[in-house]
Amino acid sequence: MPKTDLIIVGSGILGLATAFLAYRQGRTVRIIDRSARPVGSSIQNFGHACFTGQADEIQPLAMASRAGWQEAAAATGIWAAETGTFAPAMTEPELHILQEFAAHRGSDQVQMLDAGEVADAIGNPDLHAIGGAHLPLDMRVNPREAAPALATWLAREGVEFGWSTTVTEVAGGTVSTNRGDFHADQVVACPGLGLSALFPAIADAHEVRICTLVMSLIDRPQHLPSGFAMFTGTSMARYDGFAAMPGAAALREDLAQREPELVDAIANLMVTDIPGGLLIGDSHAYDLSPEPFIDEGIANLLLDRATTLLGIEEPVVLQRWLGQYTNSTNTNLILERPDDQTTVAAVTSGVGMTLSFGIAGRILNDLPLDSGAGTGASAESEPLAETPATFTTSTPTADEVVMSAR
C-alpha cells in the first residue's frame, strides 16, 4: 500500500472530522476501521451539537467546531440544522439559572422566552412552564447519517478506507493490522471505545471506562413542530456552562426533591428531533465491562418525563438502544503523543459530536506536517497550546447531578 501523509484509525466522527480537515488541507489520508461502516458512539447519540452549554474556557474550541460542522455540511451536503436548543423552565430554580446564564453569556447566545413562547416552540400549549430560553447557536445533525455520509463523501473524493480491518498496534508511522501493515508520516488514532485495547497504558492512566446510556426513538406526532431540540433541568445541572452559575446548587436541590428517580439514573433528560423521529434520553451508568441489558424502568422513566413535557399522550416507540461512549474519571479529552508520529485522541464524555471538528483542528495544528497543498478552506482551529487538553476533572456519581459536560 502506498504511504500516505496521514493514517486515521477510527471512522467515528472524531476520525472523520480529522480526515475531512486534513483532506481539505491537501493531505493524502487513509482511514482504517475494524467495522464495515460507522456504528460506534457517533451514530448512537442525540446528534446535538451543544456549543453554548460548554464551559466558558471551551467556547473558542466549541465555536471552531461549529465552523467545522458548517464547513462540512456546505461541502458534503450532510444535514446540519441551526435551530438552536429550547430550554423550558418548570420551576423557579430552573428559571433562575437560565436568567443567570443569559446575563453571563449575553443575548447572542441565550435568549430568554416567556411561558407562551417556550410552549409554542416545543408544541405543547399545556406545558405550564414559567419561562424558558433559546440557545440559538446550537445545532442538530442526524447521528444516523452524519458519519456515514461524511465517510461516503471522503471515499468519493479519493480518501482510502480500510473497512473491516482491526488495528493491533500503532508506532512510529506504522499501523499494524489483521490485514497487514500500513505506513504514514503521521498517525492519528481515534478509536473511541477501542482505546483500552489499543493503548492500554493511556487508558489506564485516565481510568477509562464505558458509559452506557438508555435511549429511545419515538414517532413524532403531527401536532409537534419539527426541528427542535429540548433541554430540561437535568441538562442545566449537567452541562458545565450552566453548572458554573451560582444558582446550580439550588437547582440540584430542587431536582433531588422533585425528580429523585431521574437523579438516581444520572439522567440528562433531553429530546432532539431528527428526520426519523424524536430522540429521547438519557441515563448514565459507568463500568469497565457493562452488561448489555436495557433497564425498562429507566427507559420508561425517561420516556414518561419527556413525553409529558411535550404533551404526547401515546408515544409510539420505534427503537430502544443502550448507547456507549468512552468515559474517564479525570478528564473529558485525551489528547496524547506517545511518539513523534502518533497522536491518540479520545473524547471521554458525551460531547464528541459537539467538539469533534474543533478537536480535529487542534490535532492537525499540532502535527509536524508540511503546510499542505489543498484548497486552503478549513475550519478555524485552535492551537493546542491555547485551549486545555483536559477540560474538567469532575467525577460523576449517582449522588452528584452536576458532572463533566454530558
Ligand X SMILES: Cc1cc2nc3c(=O)[nH]c(=O)nc-3n(C[C@H](O)[C@H](O)[C@H](O)COP(=O)(O)OP(=O)(O)OC[C@H]3O[C@@H](n4cnc5c(N)ncnc54)[C@H](O)[C@@H]3O)c2cc1C
Residues near ligand X (CB under 6 A): 9-15, 32-35, 38, 40-42, 44-46, 48, 50, 166-167, 190-194, 197-198, 213, 215, 281-282, 323-325, 346-347, 350-354, 406
Could you tell me what percentage of the chain is helix, strand and coil, using 3-state DSSP and rounding each to the nearest 5?
Answer: 35, 25, 40
Q: Which is nearer to ligand X, 95 or 167 (CB)?
A: 167
Q: How far is the CB of 133 from ligand X (least distance, A)?
A: 18
The C-alpha cell at 345 is 485522541
Q: How far is the CB of 249 from ligand X (least distance, A)?
A: 25
CA 264 to chain centre: 22
* CB proximity list for 266: less than 8 A, separation 6 or greater: 283, 284, 285, 396, 398, 401, 403
Q: Which is nearer to ligand X, 112 or 154 (CB)?
A: 154
Strands (E), 254-312: 270-274, 277-281, 285-287
Q: How far is the CB of 19 from ligand X (least distance, A)?
A: 11
Q: How far is the CB of 109 from ligand X (least distance, A)?
A: 17
Q: Which is nearer to ligand X, 68 or 192 (CB)?
A: 192
Q: Which is nearer to ligand X, 350 or 361 (CB)?
A: 350
CA–CA gap between residue 337 and residue 348 (Å, rounded): 17
Q: How far is the CB of 349 from ligand X (least distance, A)?
A: 7
Distances (CA, A) of 336 to 330, 332, 343: 15, 13, 6
Task: Please list the residues that pair with 229 across neighbouring strands.
Answer: 272
Q: How far is the CB of 61 from ligand X (least distance, A)?
A: 12
Q: How far is the CB of 257 from ligand X (least distance, A)?
A: 27
Q: Which is nearer to ligand X, 95 or 213 (CB)?
A: 213
Q: Which is nearer to ligand X, 5 or 33 (CB)?
A: 33
CA–CA gap between residue 84 and residue 121 (Å, rounded): 11
Q: How far is the CB of 140 from ligand X (least distance, A)?
A: 9
- Nearest Cα to 395, choosing from 387, 386, 404? 404
Q: How far is the CB of 400 from ligand X (least distance, A)?
A: 19
* CB proximity list for 45: less than 8 A, separation 6 or greater: 143, 323, 325, 350, 352, 353
What single string gives the DSSP state of each residue in 210-232? EEEEEEEEE---TTSPSS-EE--
Q: Is 370 helix (H, G, I), strand (E, B) or coil?
A: coil
**Cβ atoms 244, 101 nearer than 8 A:** no
Q: Which is nearer to ligand X, 13 or 119 (CB)?
A: 13
Strand-strand pairing, 111-113 and 270-274:
unpaired
Give the burial class of 86: count Cβ atoms within 10 A of its Cβ; 0-12 exposed, 13-18 middle, 19 or more buried.
buried
Q: How far is the CB of 286 from ligand X (least distance, A)?
A: 13
Strand order in the sheet with 139-141: 48-49, 139-141, 80-81
Q: How far is the CB of 211 from ligand X (least distance, A)?
A: 7
* CB proximity list for 205: less than 8 A, separation 6 or greater: none
What single string gives the DSSP state of each residue in 351-363? THHHHHHHHHHHH
Q: Which is nearer to ligand X, 178 or 257 (CB)?
A: 178
Q: Which is nearer to ligand X, 38 or 84 (CB)?
A: 38
Q: Which is nearer to ligand X, 339 or 370 (CB)?
A: 339
- Nearest Cα to 34, choosing from 11, 6, 13? 11
Q: Which is nearer to ligand X, 307 or 328 (CB)?
A: 328
